[in-house]
Structure 1
Amino acid sequence: MAHHSVEVAVQGPWSLATSREFWEGFTPAALPARPGEALRATFLVEGEWRRASVSVTQRGATAVLDLSGEGDLDLAAAQVCRFLSLDVDGRAWPDVGQRDPVIASAQALLPGLRLCGFYSPYEAAAWSVLSQRIRMSQAAVLKASLLREGVFPAPAELLALDLDLPGRKPEYLRAVAEAALDGLLDAVTLRSLKPAAAVLAVRQVKGLGPFAAELVVLRGANAPDAVPHNESRLTDEVAQRYGRPLAEVSEAWRPYRTWAAVHLRVLRERRLGGAMAPA
């Protein structure tokens, strides 16, 4: 097994502790993330679909990625930077708070938070299928039943499984796996497109409607500057805090509209006693 260490100069505010808290989940009764403790993850390297593990630590404005695995660890490092938003130039993120006092408050309460997404658009799409029409807790049980040594199956493995799942979930999961193998859910490609075009491309995959396609682009490819149009809880939060439509309010959030939206969602879940975690 190969090992590789990468140092990433993070541009703009970033806190490993805050991101780790977001990554692992938050409840009012939970202990806060301990400063300096590593964020650890094991995932499939997109395209190769081989396992890789990473331990992320912070040294000032530098993220240190210690990677191991059997695949291309340079690709794995780029993927880690993408799903932790370390590849985004966040130097103008404080300016959004200067323009919008609601976001300024969120930035103060969540210092250094960067959007932490799914490991890949493929896994985001699979989660979208698993969570359709059932509770999140039920979807989590279904996902756990598919894991192989703690990692979601590669697309080819998923196609070979005898999926004992309710409704049309087996059919839709196979469509997601085939789309991943065909390159239709590639994160680099989706990030290179305008968000609306990327969402439209993802909607071509059977079983992925508007909400799911947005999740794949915004939280799978981790696009930093897009507005979720099908997230009712965000729409409600904006209506409550601003009294104006999301489309109008979000103009002040460019070029970090996804980041701002997630900050508001985290504040909402905290206020209502919910979770602060990626799906």
Structure 2
Amino acid sequence: MSNYETTHRVSGPWSLRTCRRFWEEFAPFTLPSTSDDGLRTTFLSEHDWTPVDAVVTQDTDRARITVTGTGDLHAATDQVTRFLSLDIDATAWPHVGDRDPVIAAAQRALPGFRPCGFHSAYEAAAWAVLSQRTRVPTAAKLRRSLITEHGSNGAFPAPRTIHKAVTTGRLTLPARKPEFLAAVAEAALDGVLDSRSLRELPEDDARNRLRAITGLGPFAADLILVRGTNATDILPRTEPRLLAEIERRYGIERSLDDLATGWRPFRSWAAIHLRALSAA
């Protein structure tokens, strides 16, 4: 077990406290509240599928990141900056609020908030399967059981572990969830769910790649791209709560594409800010 510590400069608005408060209430994996200002989490490295412990603290515009594990800790550190959106140059993000007063209100309500969600596209895809036609609390319970029974050191189970558990009949889940989870695991092992690659693809190509995975539809593709890769400029098109929030906040009939034009190049961020407001 080794440690690696580094300091990463964050460009643009950022508050770890705001991000942590949001993540502590993120239903798929509620983080325990802590008395300090740091964020602590355990995740599965998508570079070598080893468990990693991470601690992140903030000093003005600097993130101090400490990772502990047995695998490639440099790659694990890069993953931390990606799933916390610390690798994004957000100096132009306030300008979106200058163009849109609703987004400006969201920015004021969530100062320094950077979208953070799943540790990887693989975990987001697994959640999409677990939560399909299932209430969120039930899906979260299924996820915790997977970690307890098949995970390592509190991290989500590696793709090969999930696939073996399904093929040997040791994974009991409702309906076709085992079949769909096995397909997700195969895609992760084949590199199809690599977060960085998905983020760099053109939007339609990324969606098509994801929808080719058995069990993943349009909603899952949006979830993975926005909350699994933390892409900044993907517009979610199948999120009913987001659409309802847009209707409530704007009170006008406009096409989603027309409304979101002013959000570029941060359409994902604007959408997540609105969803965060709806949950507040």
Q: TM-score range with shorter-chain normalisation? A: over 0.9
Q: Name 1:276's counterpart in structure 2.
A: none
1:36 Cα shift?
5.5
Q: Name 2:258's counterpart in structure 1.
A: 248
- Which shifted more, 190-199 or 84-93? 190-199
| Cα distance between partner residues in 1 of 2:157 and 2:26 | 27
- Which shifted more, 131-140 or 245-254? 245-254
1:233 Cα shift?
1.0
Q: How many residues align?
A: 265
Q: How does 1:162-241 map to 2 (within 5 A)?
A: 162-241=170-249
Q: Name 1:30's counterpart in structure 2.
A: none
Are the aligned partners of 1:83 and 1:120 in contact in 2 as well (CA < 8 Å)?
yes
- Tell me: CA distance 1:152–1:37, structure 2 relative to 1, closer, same or farther (3 Å): same
Are the aligned partners of 1:239 and 1:246 in contact in 2 as well (CA < 8 Å)?
no
Q: How does 1:114-193 map to 2 (within 5 A)?
A: 114-147=114-147, 148=151, 149-161=153-165, 162-193=170-201
Structure 1: gaps of 5 or more residues: 28-32, 271-279
| Cα distance between partner residues in 2 of 1:70 and 1:91 | 35
% identical aligned pairs = 52
Are the aligned partners of 1:195 and 1:223 in contact in 2 as well (CA < 8 Å)?
no
Q: Name 1:266's counterpart in structure 2.
A: 276
3-state SS of 1:87 partner: coil
| Cα distance between partner residues in 2 of 1:81 and 1:251 | 27
TM-score (norm 1): 0.92
- Tell me: CA distance 1:226–1:35, structure 2 relative to 1, closer, same or farther (3 Å): farther
1:102 Cα shift?
0.5
| Cα distance between partner residues in 2 of 1:95 and 1:166 | 46
| One-letter amino acid of the structure 2 residue matched with residue 179 of structure 1 | A
| One-letter amino acid of the structure 2 residue matched with residue 123 of structure 1 | E
Q: Deviations over 1:143-175 (max 9, x none)?
A: 111102421100001111111011000000000
Structure 2 residue 107 is matched with structure 1 residue 99: no
| Cα distance between partner residues in 1 of 2:48 and 2:214 | 23
3-state SS of 1:64 partner: strand
| Cα distance between partner residues in 2 of 1:156 and 1:137 | 26
Post-superposition, which runs of at least 4 consecutive aligned residues in structure 1 deviate over 3 A? 33-36
Q: Name 2:61's counterpart in structure 1.
A: 61
